[in-house]
Amino acid sequence: METEVKLTKLASCAGCGAKVGAGTLAEILDKLPTRHDPQLIVGFDKSDDASVYVINDELALVQTLDFFPPIVDDPFMFGQIAATNALSDIYAMGGEPKLAMNIMGVTKEMSQDTIYSILRGGYEKAYEAGAIITGGHTIEDVEPKYGLSVSGFVHPQRVLRNSAAKEGDVLILTKPLGIGILTTSAKANMVGEPVLKRIYEQMATLNKAARDIMVKYEIHGCTDITGFALLGHTYEMAQGSHLTIHLDSSAVPYHPEAYSLAEMGMIPAGAYRNRDYAEQGVTASKNVSVAMQDIMYDPQTSGGLLIAVSEKDSAALIRELKDAIPCAAVVGHVTKYESSSIIID
Q: Domain segments of the chain: what residues?
A: 7-158, 170-344
What integer pLDDT is reported at residue 17 of this predicted model?
A: 54
Q: Of 13, 16, 222, 327, which one is the catalytic site residue? A: 16
pLDDT band of residue 2 (cuts 50, 70, 90) is very low
Beta-carbon contacts of residue 323 (< 8 Å; ≥ 6 apart): none
pLDDT over threshold 80, residue 32 = no
What integer pLDDT is reported at residue 1 of this predicted model?
A: 39
What integer pLDDT is reported at residue 19 of this predicted model?
A: 56
pTM: 0.91
pLDDT over threshold 90, residue 24 = no
> Which tens digits make up the pLDDT trace of 83-112?
999 999 999 999 999 999 999 999 999 999
CATH fold label, 7-158? 60s Ribosomal Protein L30; Chain: A; (3.30.1330)
Return the amino acid letter for 323. Answer: D
Rounded to the nearest 10 degrees, how much is the dihedral formed by the CA atoms of 17, 238, 23, 64?
Answer: 60
The strand order across the sheet containing 305-309 reads 219-224, 305-309, 170-173, 329-336, 243-247, 342-344, 282-284
* Beta strands at 96-106 and 132-140: parallel, antiparallel or unpaired: parallel
What integer pLDDT is reported at residue 4 of this predicted model?
A: 57
The alpha carbon of 58 is separated from its chain's Cα centroid by a whole number of angstroms, namely 27
> Which tens digits make up the pLDDT trace of 232-259?
999 999 999 999 999 999 999 999 999 9
Higher pLDDT, 16 or 270: 270
> Which tens digits make up the pLDDT trace of 136-153?
999 999 999 999 999 999
Determine whether 13 is an active site residue.
Answer: no
pLDDT over threshold 60, residue 20 = no
Residues making up the binding site for Mg(2+): 49, 89, 224
pLDDT band of residue 3 (cuts 50, 70, 90) is very low
Residues making up the binding site for ATP: 19, 46-48, 66, 89, 136-138
The strand order across the sheet containing 132-140 reads 40-42, 51-56, 59-68, 145-154, 96-106, 132-140
What integer pLDDT is reported at residue 22 of this predicted model?
A: 56
Residues making up the binding site: 19, 46-49, 66, 89, 136-138, 224
The superfamily CATH assigns to domain 170-344 is PurM-like C-terminal domain (3.90.650.10)
